[in-house]
A and B are shown apart, each in its own frame.
Chain A
Amino acid sequence: SQQGEEDPQALSIQEGENATMNCSYKTSINNLQWYRQNSGRGLVHLILIRSNEREKHSGRLRVTLDTSKKSSSLLITASRAADTASYFCATALTSGTYKYIFGTGTRLKVLA
């Protein structure tokens, strides 16, 4: 199975509500990153959290990392219709490679 798996697979909320999506992974990581993808094309980097960090904020985004549980969550507060997209976590492994492993993604739909 994949290194990173997000849940839920799909999420539909009303504008103004908060959206939370989770990512689980299997092996030790150097850092974990979240990306957004619109319309099945290129991904845009949102935030990076390193293995020695537990929480990070960027605007309306809040990311947590629990290395003991090998999981991360992405919270988007006060969601907007423009936040509608797929969200992926990507893990950078600790050693021997610069390879990133992407999760399966959460499709978020924000209803106006």
Chain B
Amino acid sequence: GAGVSQSPSNKVTEKGKDVELRCDPISGHTALYWYRQSLGQGLEFLIYFQGNSAPDKSGLPSDRFSAERTGGSVSTLTIQRTQQEDSAVYLCASSLIVAGPRETQYFGPGTRLLVL
């Protein structure tokens, strides 16, 4: 597609349930990022994938959070046993990493997660 897409747009779940958030990056982009943004706050880095390298998971807040990227394209962020503090907008971005300086990120519209 023309841009980064995310699904679902909105997700309401009950505390303790698992959720899966999906990101479709721009075709050909080798890097994919997940961020979390709480209401009125900045972006909190969660994880990134770059090509076939091991992902940088240093931003994942707990072991309830995991992510995978299949075939170097689509990524799924999974939150197990959701808590109310997980409520936020989850943003995905992709970029084309080439040798040299870091490049621009292209963001999806986000998934707004509400844990009741």
Separation of A48 and B106 alpha carbons in the complex (Å) = 13
B interface, how many residues as a size bin? 20 to 34
**B18 within 8 Å of A (CB atoms):** no
Q: Which of A50, A99, A102 is in CB contact (< 8 Å) with B56? A: A99
- B111 vs chain A, min Cβ distance (A): 10
Given A31-B102, A33-B104, A98-B97, A42–B42 Cβ distance below 8 Å? no
Please tell me the number of chain A residues within 8 Å of chain B, measured between CB atoms. Answer: 26
Q: B70 — which chain A residues lie within 8 A by C-beta?
A: none
Beyond contacts A41-B89, A45-B104: 11 other A-B pairs, Cβ-Cβ < 8 A, are A30-B102, A40-B89, A48-B104, A88-B43, A97-B56, A98-B56, A99-B45, A99-B58, A100-B33, A100-B102, A105-B42
Q: Which residues of B contact A (CB under 8 A)?
A: 4, 31, 33, 35, 37, 39, 41-45, 48, 50, 56, 58-59, 89, 91, 93, 97, 101-102, 104-110
